Chains A and B, each alone.
Chain A
Amino acid sequence: MSTPVLSLRGVSTRFGSNWVHKGVDLDIPPGEVVSLVGGSGSGKTTLLRQMVGLLTPTEGEVRVFDEPLFAGTREDQRRRRRRFAMCFQGGALFSAFTVYENIAFPLREAGIATEEEIRELVALKLTMVELMPSHAALMPAELSGGMIKRVALARALALEPELLLLDEPTAGLDPTRSASFVALIRDLQQQLGLTVVLVTHDLDTLAALSSKVAVLAERRILAFDTLEAVMQIDHPFIQEFFLSERSSRALARAQGA
């Protein structure tokens, strides 16, 4: 088996006296789209933030590309960080920058591409996320929710990451927009061969995107397998999450599509 792109080794998290995770182990192989699901308060977003180094686990280790996240010199860490990107739930666009500057920013910081090349790369990324070049001059405050998500995705893709982490990629989008955004992520994932980790509540998104599902419950990864296999497991949370009437409808819809 190829080396995992991202792996968690015995990750435990404590907030005050409350253990949120206890010994989470997870290996994400390259090219997979892994959905992280769990009840609210099960620490999905916390785990995602630990994967990108925004939070440090109380115990355990996060490894990306077969190296500890925080190993090596500053320069090593910077290079490692450039290989993955994250889309935040609210987009986290820099509100003082235009769309163009938001996407160009990581490229300029990397200091490799010239200003002219950056113009073309930004245009390319905008096309990739199905936005118009004329949108480049807008400020984030002038964008709709769906457009913010697209710009955030374009910015995340600016540095050609190999691993993409998405926090609630379709939260706050209407079903049509959500479906088209999911289709966009799937296309890009296939074209670019990305490894994707996403946290979602939305079963439509989950069923349409993920090649594997990681279920976070009882402070650990309860199951990590394909959606079909996970649904066979007899556990109250899984039964409730996937097999309720509402869920079945969503899953049937996704399989029909």
Chain B
Amino acid sequence: MADALRTPELHLSEGCLSPAGDWTLLALGPHANRLRKELAAAKAIRWDLSALTRLDSFGALLLWRAWGGRLPAGTVLPDGFATQFERFVAMDEAPVPHPPRFVFTDLLAGLGAAVLGLFAHLGDFLALIGRLALDSLHLLGRPRNWPLKEFSANLYKVGVKAMPVSALVGFLIGVVLSYLSALQLKAFGADIFIVNILGLGIIRELGPVLVSVLVAGRSGSAMTAQLGVMRVTEEVDALTVMGISNYIRLVLPKVMALSVAMPLLVLWTSTVALVGGMVSAELQLGLSYGFFLETLPKVVPVANLFIALGKGAVFGVLIALVACHFGLRVKPNTESLSANTTASVVTSITLVILVDAVFAIATRSIGVPL
């Protein structure tokens, strides 16, 4: 190859230091440390750069630093290389500013920022709900403007497409729960109570929470990321400029879709989980399917089902609102997108569990046979 690299060297003869070969980033790679040491150790009277074959700004920088930031007098400097050093001379005196050091007050400021950030989130979240409510009121008299297509598309995405995975998870949870409970119940000879445990546990509690966690991870994150990318690519701004409300076109369909899809998913997943539990109970305890199905409505009051559906709808609205809230906060950089998507999922799961606790207390006297 014609332009093969020539190894960079540093020759010393009679007090004259002459770098030779290619002093470029590419060629210096394996030799940089050795040459740095040689340059530091060398006490030269004169410099001769005429043996250099190539010099780039990195090679020039090594020499420049060895020279202490100025061209030594009497240096033999071929014309072609002079510009490299002229650039250092021309370089702005002001150095690139160092990032500030972390000090104690920064910690305090960080804490303050976190608290204020929480308030900002609460404020923005309230504003989101308010805008959504106002825009929805505005829509009431104008059925032509209802975002029905978006609603339908979202319903398919968050509902129908989530069915396989929620069924799989539900079935396995049902099997495991039934299997583990059966082992305990057998010891007390209380086999038939498996129906009570599974019925109440899955329908009232596990179903809605399980589906919420799945949907928050699956659809909530997708909503945040979608809105976030739309912010980055200025699509959200384009909508605003067209005079189309972001809240009607983007947020409302998602909230509506999840508020409809979640109860249905809860119903679907709880059913599959009960089937899983029933299969396991038959295998483990010899409880017939007929007995299971006959006993279930007797021991689980129908109020539980309504509580579950209500929870599903509320959780769905919460997940969608949180997802949209974080999605619309995304700033145009990759870091913000990932941080907001994470925050969206974590916040919606936490909120769902908090609200579930509130539900548990508020409905403690309903539907629980004593």
Instruction: Decide: B90 and A127 in contact? CB cutoff 8 A.
Output: yes
Task: State whether the Cβ of B362 lies closer than 8 Å to any Cβ in chain A.
Answer: no
Beta-carbon nearest neighbor of A116 in chain B: B65
* Contact string against B for A residues 75-88, beta-carbon threshold 8 Å, 1 for contact and 0 otherwise: 00001001100000
Complex Cα gap A176–B331 (Å) = 29
Q: Please give me the residue from chain A that is nearest to B338 by CB atom.
A: A96
Chain B CB within 8 A of A173 CB: no
A residues 51-81 near B (Cβ < 8 Å) are 65-67, 79
Please, which residue of chain B has its CB at the minimum distance from the CB of A103?
B96
Question: At the interface, yes or no: A257 with Cβ under 8 Å from chain B?
Answer: no
**A124 in the interface, Cβ–Cβ < 8 Å?**
yes
Cβ–Cβ contact B26 & A95, under 8 A = no
Chain B stretch 80-131: residues in CB contact (< 8 A) with chain A: 83, 87-88, 90-92, 94-97, 99
Report the interface size for chain B: residues with CB under 8 A from the other chain. 31
In the bound assembly, the distance between CA atoms of A241 and B231 in angstroms comes to 37
Contact yes or no, B333 A100, CB < 8 A: no
Partner of A112, one of B28, B87, B94, B331: B28
The A interface, classified by DSSP as helix, strand, loop or mixed, is helix
Q: Contacts of B332 on A, CB cut-off 8 Å?
A: 95, 141
Is A121 within 8 A of B90, CB to CB?
Answer: no
Q: In this assembly, does A229 line the interface, its C-beta being within 8 Å of a C-beta of chain B?
A: no
CB neighbours of A125 from chain B (8 A): 57
Does the CB pair B25–A159 fall under 8 Å?
yes
1/0 per residue, CB under 8 A from B, across A97-119: the answer is 00010000000001011000101
- The verdict on B193 contacting chain A, using a C-beta distance below 8 Å, is no
Closest Cβ of chain B: how far from A157's Cβ, in Å? 9
Cα A113 to Cα B2 in complex, Å, equals: 27
Inter-subunit contact B61/A121 (CB<8 Å): yes
A124/B333 in contact, CB under 8 A: no
> Is A95 a contact of B2 with CB atoms below 8 Å?
no
| B335 interface residue (CB < 8 Å to A) | yes
B251 to chain A, nearest CB (A): 24
B234 contacts A by Cβ under 8 Å = no
Q: Are A79 and B26 in contact (CB under 8 A)?
A: yes
Do residues A112 and B32 form an inter-chain contact, with CB atoms below 8 A? yes
B58 and A112 form a contact (CB under 8 A): yes
**Are the CB atoms of A100 and B331 closer together than 8 Å?**
no
Is the C-beta of B243 less than 8 angstroms from some C-beta in chain A?
Answer: no
**Beyond A65-B1, A127-B91, A160-B56, 18 extra complex contacts between A and B, CB < 8 Å:** A2-B2, A3-B2, A65-B3, A82-B25, A83-B26, A95-B335, A100-B96, A112-B25, A113-B32, A120-B61, A126-B96, A127-B87, A127-B90, A127-B92, A137-B97, A141-B332, A160-B25, A192-B56
| Chain A to chain B contacts (Cβ below 8 Å), 29 pairs | A67-B1, A82-B26, A83-B26, A95-B332, A95-B333, A95-B334, A96-B335, A110-B25, A112-B28, A112-B58, A113-B25, A113-B58, A117-B62, A119-B95, A120-B61, A120-B65, A121-B57, A123-B91, A124-B87, A126-B92, A127-B90, A128-B87, A133-B95, A133-B97, A136-B97, A137-B97, A141-B332, A159-B25, A192-B56
- Chain A residues within CB distance 8 Å of chain B: 2-3, 65-67, 79, 82-83, 94-96, 100, 110, 112-113, 117, 119-128, 132-134, 136-137, 139-141, 159-160, 191-192
Q: Which 3 residue pairs across A and B have the least CB separation, nearest first?
A: A95-B333, A96-B335, A160-B56
